[in-house]
């Protein structure tokens, strides 16, 4: 059974940092692209960042470029999102999601975690 | 990276059909056959309903179908049921390993 479990969310002051983790199981982690998607309270889904199965290819939304860094540890089947210089507008539930096709880019996402809430406030 | 355009809300009675549109550009929807649709109930994670424009994952009822013409994709739900009431999001690959979502559509089953 495929499982994705996010952790690391919480309350942080503006300008602060957080590192989110997404522990996975039930599939060959290194074969699939992974992504982070966020949802601000009462708002829609926003793609944040994606990374290839090998970790060599990655991309970011303009809204987080230069502040967030996506990475993965294929030996531990875990995805990460390092978030620096956090702003109030980064407040959201952050979901990790698995790419749907092996050895392909982020063309669709077939499994999602339950999300972890990040609140940026003083 | 502008969001894809979806109607904010649609509604239909049980048994009827509804169609949700998703308009992008030639750089996303029109440029790739990688449009997907997600269903999200309140407080839950999104669920994949359609991928590759018109393919259904196993377990998704065939009442859900997808299509695309030019820069606009569509999700049609036929034989509406009460449990279909949810938010629906389209999503498209946009090149350079990036993805863009639609703003979301709230489906109300009357």
B15 touches chain A (CB under 8 A): no
B30 touches chain A (CB under 8 A): no
A48, A52, A43: which is closest to A104 by C-alpha? A52
Beta bridge mates, B29: none
Contact by Cβ (8 Å): A28, A102: yes
The predicted-structure confidence for B54-72, as pLDDT tens digits, reads as follows: 999 999 999 999 999 999 9
Answer whether residue B1 shows pLDDT above 80: no
State mean pLDDT over B7-34.
96
Structure tokens at B41: 């109930």
A18, A24, A20: which is closest to A7 by C-alpha? A20
CB contact under 8 A, A45 and B99: no
State mean pLDDT over A11-16.
97
Compute φ and ψ for A29, nearest 5 degrees.
-55, -45
B41 touches chain A (CB under 8 A): no
Confidence band for A24, pLDDT divided at 50, 70 and 90: very high
For residue A54, the SS3 value is: coil
**Per-residue model confidence (pLDDT) at position B96:** 85
**Per-residue model confidence (pLDDT) at position B14:** 96
Q: In this structure, is the dihedral angle defined by the CA atoms of residues A27, A33, A34 and A35, taken in order, positive or negative? A: negative
**Per-residue model confidence (pLDDT) at position A104:** 84
A45, A70, A72: which is closest to A59 by C-alpha? A70
Q: Which residues of A touch B91 (CB under 8 A)?
A: 45, 47, 108-109
B7 touches chain A (CB under 8 A): no
**Per-residue model confidence (pLDDT) at position A85:** 98
Answer whether residue B97 shows pLDDT above 90: no
Contact by Cβ (8 Å): A22, A78: yes
B1, B12, B26, B17: which is closest to B64 by C-alpha? B17
């Amino acid at each position: 059974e495929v499982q994705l479990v996010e952790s690391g969310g919480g309350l942080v002051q503006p300008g602060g940092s957080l590192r989110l983790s997404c522990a996975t199981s039930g599939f060959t982690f290194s074969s699939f692209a992974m992504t982070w998607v966020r949802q601000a309270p009462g708002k829609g889904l926003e793609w944040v960042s994606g990374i290839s199965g090998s970790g060599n290819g990655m991309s970011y939304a303009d809204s987080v470029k230069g502040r967030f860094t996506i990475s993965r540890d294929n030996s531990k089947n875990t995805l990460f999102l390092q978030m620096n210089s956090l702003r109030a507008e980064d407040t959201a539930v952050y979901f990790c999601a698995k790419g749907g096709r092996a050895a392909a880019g982020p063309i669709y996402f077939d499994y999602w975690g339950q999300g972890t809430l990040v609140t940026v406030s003083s | 990276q502008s969001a894809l355009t979806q109607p904010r809300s649609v509604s239909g009675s049980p048994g009827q059909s509804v169609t949700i549109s998703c308009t992008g550009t030639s750089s996303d929807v029109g440029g790739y056959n990688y449009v997907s649709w997600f269903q999200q109930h309140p407080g839950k994670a999104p669920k994949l309903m359609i991928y590759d424009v018109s393919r259904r994952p196993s377990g998704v009822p065939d009442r859900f179908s997808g299509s695309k013409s030019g820069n606009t994709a569509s999700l049609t739900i036929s034989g509406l049921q009460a449990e279909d009431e949810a938010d629906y999001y389209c999503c498209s690959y946009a090149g350079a390993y990036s993805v863009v979502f639609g703003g979301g559509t709230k489906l109300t089953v009357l």
